[in-house]
Amino acid sequence: MARLDGKVALITGGASGFGAASGKIFAREGAKVVLTDKNTDGAQAVAREIGNAASAMSHDVVSEDDWKRVVADTLDMHGKLDILMNNAGVMGTGAPQDIENMSLDEWKFVQEINSDGVFLGCRAVIQAMKDSGGGSIINISSTAGFRATPGIAAYGASKGAVRQLTKSVAAYCGRKGYNIRCNSIHPGMVRTPLGEAVLKYYGELEERAQKRAESVPLGTLGEVEDVAYAALYLASDEARYINSSELVVDGGMLGGG
């Protein structure tokens, strides 16, 4: 029996990076996956690559109406919803994010997608998961949710919010007896479009990538599959007693040394 047999998963930011990798791995493990993204063509391309187990929907995670539609269409298509991976995110517009020079617009842009989007996602799926007998919500935070990010302060703050909100959702749903678990994943640097935007923000891409890899005890940057396999575990029933946890996937970087 595959690890996600019979489960239905909704993955935001499914056109690229961790979302696309998770879609592929979840489907291989028996799930029906709904990949949503603002980049609809990209999500459709990933769904085509996966085949029958996958479908794609256009979705802006900051829109309440989009969340209603995406959850309703998933229920229409599959009859239930077991897994939500709140994964869509941005680093910012490229404008300054240090505390002296950041505009309020830049701050709001990042919080709206990375933080408000995760709140809207958690809220939007609770009823559907209750009706499905329970579920697993996986919120993609970052190592930036744990430590100072002086050059990208809006991004770090948004990821701190995700880490903290996860705990309130986990405790609330647990106490209510909904059988809905909620956990966060904290990836280190992975060379997706977003990851490379962060590296380029600080300097020349290859030089920054090498420096960053050297800061990791395991000596390399991560791969998208490293995060997808962590999400697979949290999505599966193997993690039935894992709730409110912070799964760090960073090669040991946060641990130091």
Residues serving a catalytic function are 155
Selected binder of ligand NAD within 11, 18, 56, 236 (CB under 6 A): 18
Which is it for the CA torsion 241, 138, 49, 188, positive or negative? negative
Using CA atoms, how far apart are residues 74 and 80, in angstroms rounded to an integer?
7
Using the rule CB under 6 A, is 149 a contact of ligand NAD?
A: no
Using the rule CB under 6 A, is 187 a contact of ligand NAD?
A: yes
Query: Hey, is 16 helix, strand or coil?
Result: coil
Closest CB to ligand NAD among residues 19, 132: 19
Query: What is the token pair recorded at 121?
Result: 């996602």
Using the rule CB under 6 A, is 126 a contact of ligand NAD?
A: no
Quickly tell me which residue has 């993609």 as its tokens. Answer: 140
- What secondary structure does DSSP assign to 70-130, as a single string? HHHHHHHHHS---EEEE------SSS-BSTTT--HHHHHHHHIIIIIHHHHHHHHHHHHHH
CB of 82 to ligand NAD, least distance (A): 21
CB-closest chain residue to ligand NAD: 17
Selected binder of ligand NAD within 34, 35, 61, 234 (CB under 6 A): 61
Which is it for the CA torsion 212, 187, 250, 9, positive or negative? negative
Using the rule CB under 6 A, is 45 a contact of ligand NAD?
A: no
With CA atoms as reference, report the closest residue to 61 among 12, 97, 3.
12
Closest CB to ligand NAD among residues 19, 23: 19
Closest CB to ligand NAD among residues 86, 136: 86
Quickly tell me which residue has 């040991």 as its tokens. Answer: 252
CB of 77 to ligand NAD, least distance (A): 19
Q: What is the largest CA-CA distance in the chain?
A: 54
Using the rule CB under 6 A, is 226 a contact of ligand NAD?
A: no
Selected binder of ligand NAD within 71, 189, 213, 253 (CB under 6 A): 189
How many residues sit close enough to ligand NAD to count as binding (CB under 6 A)?
29
Q: Give the contact letters, 129-148, x = binds to ligand NAD (CB under 6 A), - = no.
A: -----------x-x------
Selected binder of ligand NAD within 195, 209, 236, 248 (CB under 6 A): 195
Q: How is the beta sheet containing 83-86 ordered, strand by strand?
A: 54-58, 32-37, 8-12, 83-86, 135-140, 180-187, 246-249
CB of 125 to ligand NAD, least distance (A): 15
Using CA atoms, how far apart are residues 167 and 170, in angstroms rounded to an integer?
5
Selected binder of ligand NAD within 7, 27, 31, 39 (CB under 6 A): 39
Using the rule CB under 6 A, is 81 a contact of ligand NAD?
A: no
State how far the alpha carbon of 35 is from the alpha carbons of 8, 45, 111, 112, 172, in Å.
Answer: 11, 10, 22, 20, 27
Using the rule CB under 6 A, is 228 a contact of ligand NAD?
A: no
Amino acid at 122: C
> What residue ranges bind ligand NAD (CB under 6 A)?
12-13, 15-19, 37-39, 42, 59-62, 87-90, 113, 140, 142, 187, 189-190, 192-195
